[in-house]
Structure 1
Amino acid sequence: MNRLIDTPITVLVVDDDEHIRELLKSFLEQKHMHVLLAESAEEALAREDLDAVQVALLDIRLPGRIDGHQLQKELNRRFPDMAKILMSGHADLDDAIAAFSDQAFSFARKPFSSLKEIAVLIERAAEIKQLEAQNRDYAARLEEANRQLSDKVTETTAKAQRYQNILSHLYLVSSQLGRIEHPDGLLDFICQSVIEAGAFRRAVVLLADEKYLIRNIGVWDASGVSDGLRETLRQLKGQPLRPFEFDRPEKRIGTAVYAQTPDLSRPSQESDHDTWRAGDQLFVPILRQDSGVTGFLSLEAPTDGAPPSEDIIELLEVLLGNAGLYLEAQKLRNELKKRADELELRVQERTKELRLSEERFSRLVNTTTDIVYIADENDKLTFINEAFSRVTGYLRENYLGRTLKRLFEDITTDNPINNRALQEISSRNAEHMLQHVEVVTRQGDKRTLEINRTLISQGGVVRGSQGIIRDITEHRKLLQQLVASERLAATGRLAAGIAHEINNPLQAMISQIAAVDAKLTEGKNPLENVELLRESVDRIKQIVRSMLDLHRGASLPQKSVNLKEISEKVGALVSQQIHQQSIRLRLDIPEELPNVTGSAQELQQVLLNLVLNAIEAMPRGGDLIISGRTTVKTVDVNVKDTGVGIAAEHLQQIFEPFFTFRTSGSGTGLGLYLCRNIMEAHRGKILVQSERGKGSTFTLSFPRE
């Protein structure tokens, strides 16, 4: 909460991303703001509480027929005092220009670098909008005060026609009121003018504020104002403005009260009201617009002894009314100037903050290790940060104006992976794209880059693209080391079963060799026993080949992989474990299941890891089903078990590194983490469905070729 806004700020957030809406709602409510949410422009415009909104956060890319720019225009028409902040994760310079052309307060990019800056931006928008509203109110009040002043001057002029001798003097006085800036000086001048116009002996003006405390005092005396009188009057400042109580004869003349000094030479009932005497006083009230009293003018008897008249009192009331309007207008002008100065100062401060924010963003983009780029609707690069030169060794300026595909054609090696990636880069079929390419730096080093591109669309038309290019060479090396480590861990989990699996055919071979020896001694034909020996050797050969396939060095995807074959190999590797644990294995992979492009060794390791996890989840036996299916866009392999299942609160954690359900020392916690990385490297996904006590289903989903 800032110091100019006393009530919570009401914020409207319009974004089709539920995560962003809830994130902003949670954070802004912590900042004591009231947050209204809408998923689309239509939903926002249908709300009945929009008149309470002070600041609207509008996403440019909204679903439906109305986008963020159109919504901003409609809100401008309905609620001109509402501040609008447009935001987008895919916006370009044209979006920003369009937003500010439509009177947007600001423009924010997603993802937000700091929610705190968003909160500050909202508070600044609400504050400036409130200041603008206050300034309009002050201007209106000033205009109304000037209008009332004009009306009063007109009325004074009409009435002054009857008093030509006094008119010229009072008119001159009225014309000079605006030249006196200090309120007390203005009231002194009025007192002096009244005395000179009406030949009064002394005039005193008391003026109170809205709390009826005496704020300003004016005084004038025909014989001069003594210091004692001024000091006495000065002490009245800040005291309540009280009604006068008279202990002597008094008479009302219009709104004024005439208090007559008693004549001791006459009986009280014979008091003469036709002649002013020394000590007689006339009290003229100073009225507000609501007819409330805001002060008094006190006049002592004039030197010529002329009695007071309603006409003179009316003229005095006009003069005092004009003075009050001048003082009120002066007060409003001072407040307006103060507010304008404060607004100007705040605008300067906020402008400086925005400039610093832009500088920080520029430094951030140019100091990050990732390559950041922006391309236009023709896919030509309009911006690329300095990280490009640091990673590749080439001058980034040489590639501005070229297409992203042309850039990578210049620096990539010629292989099927890069060729397919370059085709995807030039395609605009998908809003988001993730590709890997191998480039050769200017120094001759080979580096692997990950390209994450997002298209920028407006009204269904692609206006450009932006993306981040990350050097993942070291990450890939580390991942390969982790894969090798996990492969060894999987071998350890298979060791006992494989030893038993090899021992069975070895025992059979020993028996058959003894039988062959006996038949040869007896002169019989051992061909049947030789066939059995050959089958045992083939069984051992198959097990050894599966182990060798598992331990061959991993490489980038480069060939067609038959998912049915690797499923059968995994089934052979775990046959002993499932037999020992009374697990029923069923392979349901159709022959016509399409092949996928990738590394057979890596995909076999992923499938083996899932199968071993399923076996461990069924210590008392159960069903293990490996099935395959195709959809319009994917080729899927499912690994389903009837084991203990996974708790719902752990489903989001199982793919994190070092997360494991096993006891300390019995697992690395990297298996599923590496499975996910291998699947992402194959442009695929690994999905999970599980219910505690009912089992789990893991799905390997590959894009169809």
Structure 2
Amino acid sequence: MNKKYWLVIIVVLILTITYFHYHTPTSIWQFHLILMQLYFIPILLAAFQFGIKGGVISALAITVFYLPHVFLQWGGLVETNLLRFLQVLLFNVIGYLTGLKAEGERKETEKYRKLAEKLKELNEQQKQQSELLLEMERKLRMADRLAIIGELTASLAHEVRNPLASIRGSIQILKEQAPENLKASEFFTILEHETQRINTVVDNYLNFARRPAQSKSTINLYEVLDILIKMIESKARKQNVSIQTAFEENLPLFDSDPNALKQVLMNLLLNGLQAMPEGGRLIVQARQDNGQLIISIIDRGKGMTEEQLEKIFQPFYTTKKEGTGLGLSIVKRIADENNWQIKAESKLNEGSRFDLIIPLPSA
């Protein structure tokens, strides 16, 4: 109950008891004894609600109201009114002691409340530290696994480099021997370009232990997306997946690592195809917004739960039976190295959306 209500109740009780004192004949002394004892009720209430001040002030107020009644209606003689004077003294003593006790209990209660809050805070901190330790332990285990996979990848990269060099050489020979109209075909350009990109990726794996130096050049996003979409069109047709594009006009050129961009986008495109093994629609969008290029890859596959969505960028986590769990983790690592952002949204049985956000330099 609000303190103001308690104050009103206490005042009303004091005034009511005092009223009956003054309007009850002194001949009915038994009622006056009862009324005197009733004064303890507002004193105790004031002491419990307002502490020492409440108890003492209410007792003094009763003293001020009651003493005129003693002098005017009972004669004021000490011999005949000793009990009443002692009662007035008792009012003040009880008011003070009860208020003191109430304040002590209130302080003790507040002390235990603060202690409980402190314990709760410490418990929360301990919980956070436990979660942090578990996360650090998980990362250490993951680091061990990454170290092993790094060694295996380095060995594999060494083995891939030789046949890759043979493939590149064969492409050059075929191009030299091909008719002039076939030499101009964009497919030779794509083959040369992509084998070079694979070679660069192999080099990056061999230098996995250190962050590779980035090779930046001016990128035309339309050309990059056009090449990548052509590369997956055959696979998309086999899966009965239609590819739809929606590119905003006049997207600006920007400087970045073209191999990193292609690797990220190719992984996202293949991820979209893999999400629709029974066919569907793959949507590729590109737009500019608030000084950023936003490239969106949207599939109409099975989608993911919120729990799955939280883990998709973790190494070795996969929702596919034949997946390695490295594709999206590599995407996230490359994006972080280039100060890009990757955002993912997904709804179960509706599909997924991945946004690659590339900040543009301010003019």
TM-score range, shorter chain: 0.5 to 0.7
What is the match of residue 340 of structure 1? 103
Deviations 1:404-451 (Å, cap 9, x if unpaired)?
A: xxxxxxxxxxxxxxxxxxxxxxxxxxxxxxxxxxxxxxxxxxxxxxxx
Number of residue pairs matched?
A: 286
1:203-222 aligned at under 5 Å gives the runs: none
Q: Which has the higher helix share?
A: 2
- Distance in 2 (CA, whole Å) between partners of 1:354 and 1:539 is 66
> Which ranges in structure 2 are unaligned for 5 or more consecutive residues?
5-44, 127-138, 205-210
Q: Residue 59 of structure 2 aligns to which amino acid in structure 1?
A: A
1:523-672 aligned at under 5 Å gives the runs: 529=179, 532=182, 538=189, 540-553=191-204, 555=212, 559-560=216-217, 562=219, 563-571=221-229, 573-585=231-243, 589=247, 592-647=250-305, 650-663=308-321, 666-672=322-328
In structure 2, the residue corresponding to 1:668 is in which secondary structure? coil
- Distance in 1 (CA, whole Å) between partners of 2:66 and 2:47 is 28
**2:70 pairs with 1:156:** yes
1:249-260 aligned at under 5 Å gives the runs: none
- Distance in 1 (CA, whole Å) between partners of 2:256 and 2:227 is 17
What is the match of residue 356 of structure 2? 700
Q: Residue 92 of structure 2 aligns to which amino acid in structure 1?
A: A
What is the match of residue 410 of structure 1? none
What is the match of residue 327 of structure 1? 90
Match for 1:140 among 54, 60, 74? 54
In structure 2, the residue corresponding to 1:627 is in which secondary structure? strand
Superposed displacement of residue 637, structure 1: 0.8
Asked whether the equivalents of residues 630 and 636 of structure 1 are also in contact (C-alpha less than 8 Å), the reply is yes
Q: Which has the higher strand share?
A: 1
- Distance in 1 (CA, whole Å) between partners of 2:218 and 2:303 is 30
In structure 2, the CA distance between the partners of 1:321 and 1:356, relative to structure 1 (3 Å rule), is: same
Q: Percent identity?
A: 22
Superposed displacement of residue 592, structure 1: 3.3
1:38-49 aligned at under 5 Å gives the runs: none
What is the match of residue 68 of structure 1? none
In structure 2, the CA distance between the partners of 1:140 and 1:606, relative to structure 1 (3 Å rule), is: same
- Distance in 1 (CA, whole Å) between partners of 2:258 and 2:352 is 24
Asked whether the equivalents of residues 215 and 257 of structure 2 are also in contact (C-alpha less than 8 Å), the reply is yes
Superposed displacement of residue 673, structure 1: 4.1
In structure 1, the residue corresponding to 2:294 is in which secondary structure? strand
Normalising by structure 1, we get a TM-score of 0.33
- Distance in 2 (CA, whole Å) between partners of 1:679 and 1:146 is 78
- Distance in 1 (CA, whole Å) between partners of 2:115 and 2:327 is 51
Deviations 1:247-305 (Å, cap 9, x if unpaired)?
A: xxxxxxxxxxxxxxxxxxxxxxxxxxxxxxxxxxxxxxxxxxxxxxxxxxxxxxxxxxx
- Distance in 2 (CA, whole Å) between partners of 1:348 and 1:637 is 57
Deviations 1:312-343 (Å, cap 9, x if unpaired)?
A: xxx3xx43333333334322322222233345
Deviations 1:605-663 (Å, cap 9, x if unpaired)?
A: 22121111111122233443333111233211121334333356644443455442112
Q: Residue 337 of structure 1 aligns to which amino acid in structure 2?
A: L
- Distance in 1 (CA, whole Å) between partners of 2:120 and 2:46 is 24
- Distance in 2 (CA, whole Å) between partners of 1:694 and 1:680 is 28
Asked whether the equivalents of residues 48 and 98 of structure 2 are also in contact (C-alpha less than 8 Å), the reply is no
Q: Residue 559 of structure 1 aligns to which amino acid in structure 2?
A: K
Deviations 1:317-374 (Å, cap 9, x if unpaired)?
A: x43333333334322322222233345556777889999999x9xxx9xxxxxxxxxx
What is the match of residue 688 of structure 1? 344
Q: Residue 140 of structure 1 aligns to which amino acid in structure 2?
A: G
Superposed displacement of residue 682, structure 1: 3.9
Asked whether the equivalents of residues 55 and 99 of structure 2 are also in contact (C-alpha less than 8 Å), the reply is no
In structure 2, the CA distance between the partners of 1:154 and 1:572, relative to structure 1 (3 Å rule), is: same
In structure 2, the residue corresponding to 1:688 is in which secondary structure? strand
In structure 2, the CA distance between the partners of 1:160 and 1:354, relative to structure 1 (3 Å rule), is: same
In structure 2, the residue corresponding to 1:620 is in which secondary structure? coil
Asked whether the equivalents of residues 624 and 639 of structure 1 are also in contact (C-alpha less than 8 Å), the reply is yes
- Distance in 2 (CA, whole Å) between partners of 1:585 and 1:578 is 8
Asked whether the equivalents of residues 152 and 321 of structure 1 are also in contact (C-alpha less than 8 Å), the reply is no
Asked whether the equivalents of residues 248 and 286 of structure 2 are also in contact (C-alpha less than 8 Å), the reply is yes
Asked whether the equivalents of residues 658 and 669 of structure 1 are also in contact (C-alpha less than 8 Å), the reply is yes
Deviations 1:100-152 (Å, cap 9, x if unpaired)?
A: xxxxxxxxxxxxxxxxxxxxxxxxxxxxxxx9994526633432322323443
Q: Residue 90 of structure 2 aligns to which amino acid in structure 1?
A: L
What is the match of residue 201 of structure 1? none
- Distance in 2 (CA, whole Å) between partners of 1:541 and 1:354 is 67
Asked whether the equivalents of residues 51 and 99 of structure 2 are also in contact (C-alpha less than 8 Å), the reply is no
Superposed displacement of residue 509, structure 1: 5.3
Asked whether the equivalents of residues 564 and 591 of structure 1 are also in contact (C-alpha less than 8 Å), the reply is no
Q: Which has the higher contact order (CA 8 A, sep 6+)?
A: 2
How much is the aligned-residue C-alpha RMSD, in angstroms? 5.3
What is the match of residue 25 of structure 2? none
Superposed displacement of residue 571, structure 1: 3.5
In structure 2, the residue corresponding to 1:669 is in which secondary structure? coil
In structure 2, the CA distance between the partners of 1:555 and 1:133, relative to structure 1 (3 Å rule), is: farther
In structure 2, the CA distance between the partners of 1:141 and 1:642, relative to structure 1 (3 Å rule), is: closer
Superposed displacement of residue 603, structure 1: 2.7
Normalising by structure 2, we get a TM-score of 0.57
1:144-293 aligned at under 5 Å gives the runs: 144-158=58-72, 167=77, 170=78
Asked whether the equivalents of residues 152 and 322 of structure 1 are also in contact (C-alpha less than 8 Å), the reply is no
- Distance in 2 (CA, whole Å) between partners of 1:560 and 1:133 is 81
Q: Residue 292 of structure 2 aligns to which amino acid in structure 1?
A: T
Q: Residue 548 of structure 1 aligns to which amino acid in structure 2?
A: N
Asked whether the equivalents of residues 560 and 595 of structure 1 are also in contact (C-alpha less than 8 Å), the reply is no
- Distance in 2 (CA, whole Å) between partners of 1:689 and 1:529 is 48
In structure 2, the CA distance between the partners of 1:610 and 1:603, relative to structure 1 (3 Å rule), is: same
Q: Residue 357 of structure 2 aligns to which amino acid in structure 1?
A: S
- Distance in 2 (CA, whole Å) between partners of 1:538 and 1:146 is 103
In structure 1, the residue corresponding to 2:343 is in which secondary structure? strand
Q: Residue 355 of structure 2 aligns to which amino acid in structure 1?
A: T
Asked whether the equivalents of residues 559 and 597 of structure 1 are also in contact (C-alpha less than 8 Å), the reply is yes
- Distance in 2 (CA, whole Å) between partners of 1:344 and 1:555 is 64
